[in-house]
A and B are shown apart, each in its own frame.
Chain A
Amino acid sequence: NAGVTQTPKFQVLKTGQSMTLQCAQDMNHEYMSWYRQDPGMGLRLIHYSVGAGITDQGEVPNGYNVSRSTTEDFPLRLLSAAPSQTSVYFCASSSAGMRVGEQYFGPGTRLTVT
């Protein structure tokens, strides 16, 4: 199992550009989430999904869109990048049948918006 994979590892965008961060998991997990990690802020939930076709907002959803057309994939779209979106982005997945509270995280995407 590859676990949770994220692409790209690094990305530099100009203000106003759009892009999609890819996330895939091969563990057949129902739950998938996107977090951003900023110094001194911990990890903050952007959007999450409890299954294919179902998504909802987390703490900091503004400027981001998600969709979940398959169990495996959960892409995060930046509609019009802003410098405030410079961060490290993590995708995570978990299963309802797993140890409670456990999420598997991907390796992250480091995004810089200039």
Chain B
Amino acid sequence: QQQVKQSPQSLIVQKGGISIINCAYENTAFDYFPWYQQFPGKGPALLIAIRPDVSEKKEGRFTISFNKSAKQFSLHIMDSQPGDSATYFCAARRRIQGAQKLVFGQGTRLTINP
């Protein structure tokens, strides 16, 4: 089963608009929630991350909103630019016997139209 559900699968936004990607999880053992950005032909790279005791984290144009009671979190990209066009993955981490295991969402292909 998919432990982290991500939506939408694909998203098209005009340049300057706000891109919003949503994720939901069930397992309350998750203790850290990173977002990864992947450009075609490359490996994913960490974009921004949040702990569940924080409701919002902002880094530049990228903001994570976190709702612990609803078990949902989202990525907002303000003033979206064509260079933001990529696939975005949310993830959730849990620690098992000293190891950090990440569970990824299905991914969202974001296209920013100029």
Contacts and interface: CB of A to CB of B under 8 A. Distances in A.
A105 B45 contact: yes
Interface in A86-101: 90, 92, 94, 99-101
Majority SS at the chain B contact face:
strand
Contact-residue bracket for chain A: 20 to 34
Interface residues of B, number: 28
B72 interface: no
B101 A94 contact: no
Majority SS at the chain A contact face:
strand
The 5 nearest A-B residue pairs measured at CB: A105-B43, A42-B104, A101-B32, A101-B34, A43-B104
Interface of A: 4, 31, 33, 35, 40-45, 48, 50, 56, 58-59, 90, 92, 94, 99-103, 105-108
Interface in B40-97: 41-46, 49, 51, 89, 91, 93
Contact of B102 (A40, A103, A107, A108): A103
